[in-house]
Structure 1
Amino acid sequence: MTAELTDHEVAGQSETVQETPAWLTALRSALDPNSKRRLEALDPKPDWHSLEIGAGSGSTARWLAERCPQGKVVATDIELGSLSAEGFPNLEVRRHDVTTEDFPEASFDLIYARYVFSHLRSREEDLARIVSWLKPGGWLLLEEPAQFPVESAQDDDYREVSLATLEQYKEQVGTDLTWPRTFPAPLVNLGLEEIGIDGDISVVGAGRPMSLFWGEAIKGWGPIVVGAGTATEEQVERAAAKMYQDDFYDLGLATMAVWGRRPA
């Protein structure tokens, strides 16, 4: 459906802001530096109107609000959780489902999403709609997790349990961490211009930020993986424990980034 900006539910200051979970804090600390580097390279102007889809705890949205003081940033998520606009008059927080709810055409100079579209079964259709929300000349930047480094992991328990976990994500949620390896094709196919692609690979072990995130994922999905018969309970326990061991090192998920501009 299509709705005017003012018709979406807006988070007021009366809503309870939840404490950010430790795993989300760890993921944010692992990803934020490269996200801000890529956004900075797009040279946001002070009066830009920007949209962050799946804003999480809002660290990137707040950075954009500071970078574009005469503009506006709309930060959305399906659950607001720890997302708050407090202290940022040009930041608006909204509960919004990108798979079912629209914004008016040509609303934004920049649309940004991190770790969102690889989880959506309708990602191709959703991306086509989202491009229409860009102003002519507006930028779309996506950052998505990719599993290809984990496929080459040297530790058997870590590799097998991680891939089994990702397979359950795909079956039950729709998450496809092979899709980001197709970049930049999704944006090329949508007719965007000035296409760019970038990537970085995390390292797990020794309690690094991505280790804390992935260790919690392994533990959380462990019973489902064991129930599916793709790993044993002992394998899951060993793989999760290695994320916190000082003497363990292996490759974690990659982050693949792609950006492009709507023709002026």
Structure 2
Amino acid sequence: MGAHAAAGDGARPGDGVPGRYGTAVFRPERAGEDERIDLGALAYDDITLARLTALGAGPGWICLELGAGTGSVARGLLTRAGVTSVLAVDRDIRFLASRPQPGLATLEADIGDPAFDPGRFHLVHARFVLMHLPERERLISRFADLLVPGGVLVLGDAVDLTTAAAPATPYTRAVRAMWQGLRATIGTDVDWTPRYPELLRAAGLSEVAAEIHVPPLLPGSPISRFWADTWERAKAAMTATGLVDDAAVDAAVRYLDSPDCAALSPGLITAWGRRAGAGTEGGRSSG
């Protein structure tokens, strides 16, 4: 799920300016961070890979995976979709390097840094990455330029379903504190993610569409464990908001593992668009 990729240097936590993902809260050197990311992968990879293959990902495709994390989507593209190659980019590739695979190349870089030639990839994909970056509109346009004619840009991020009408539960209090705390600490912003179709059209792409997947919050499920682990790691940022204290975060973690839990998890919004031109060489037609 998501990764450590970020663009720009940011600032140190505590100086009043958001820092970067991977330096202030979700540090890759912290024990178990790869396991946390993999829990998200268990919850979302099937829906992501189904969408990528429906859009045509298959033999002959050269793919770019941005903010690759532990590389679960990159490997799935190779083993399940049968693409020819995947370049996985992350600002910390320790998890990628520990699991090498034929056809998988890695690059350690911020996603705004690599100087790729335009028109190089049949697929550019990023999931749970742009929500952490303020320069998302510039990056979307840049990613679109990397596509071959007929290639697709697929972007996924969180969409918050905890509305003002949601009941006051340990879960809703924790979710609100999490988004507010992450915004203040590392700049995370999910308010804009429903604009993805508009932003993809503005980048010159066609056949633009989007969907939302909401995995069920069930005791012991990968998504429930993912959020519990995320809250434990983000506890300082959450309590700094004043919306919750340590006891409230602990109560929310227990609530997730309780049969009393009745809530909607943050959803995954996936949006895509295709670069105009002839059909993608070497790939299957889109579905």
Normalised-by-shorter TM-score class: 0.7 to 0.9
Matching residue within 231, 247, 251 for 1:234 = 247
Partner-residue secondary structure (3-state), 1:228: coil
Question: How big is the shift at 1:187?
Answer: 0.2
Distance 1:151 1:23, change over 3 A: farther
Matching residue within 191, 211, 216 for 1:178 = 191
Kept in 2, the 8 Å contact 1:137–1:262? The answer is yes
Does residue 140 of structure 1 match 2:153?
yes
Percentage identity across paired residues of the two chains: 28
Q: How do residues 1-264 of structure 1 correspond to structure 2 at under 5 angstroms? A: 21-66=34-79, 71-84=84-97, 88-149=101-162, 153-264=166-277
Question: How big is the shift at 1:232?
Answer: 2.6
Gaps of 5+ in 1: 1-17
Kept in 1, the 8 Å contact 2:157–2:269? The answer is yes
Kept in 2, the 8 Å contact 1:69–1:90? The answer is no
CA distance in 2, matches of 1:161, 1:19: 21
Which amino acid letter does the alignment assign opposite residue 196 of structure 2?
A: F
Between the two proteins, the alignment pairs up a number of residues equal to 247
The aligned residue for residue 15 of structure 1 is: none
Which amino acid letter does the alignment assign opposite residue 258 of structure 2?
A: Q
Which amino acid letter does the alignment assign opposite residue 171 of structure 2?
A: Y
Kept in 1, the 8 Å contact 2:174–2:248? The answer is yes
Which amino acid letter does the alignment assign opposite residue 184 of structure 1?
A: P
CA distance in 1, matches of 2:276, 2:85: 22
Distance 1:225 1:86, change over 3 A: closer
CA distance in 2, matches of 1:87, 1:168: 35
Partner-residue secondary structure (3-state), 2:265: strand
> Could you tell which deviates more after superposition, 172-181 or 251-260?
172-181
Q: Give the strand-richer structure, 1 or 2.
A: 1
Which amino acid letter does the alignment assign opposite residue 245 of structure 1?
A: S
- Cα RMSD after superposing both structures: 2.2
Deviations 1:188-228 (A, max 9, x none): 11110011211111332412211111112222222332233
Distance 1:238 1:45, change over 3 A: closer
- State TM-score, norm by structure 1: 0.86
Which amino acid letter does the alignment assign opposite residue 143 of structure 1?
A: G
Kept in 1, the 8 Å contact 2:116–2:146? The answer is yes
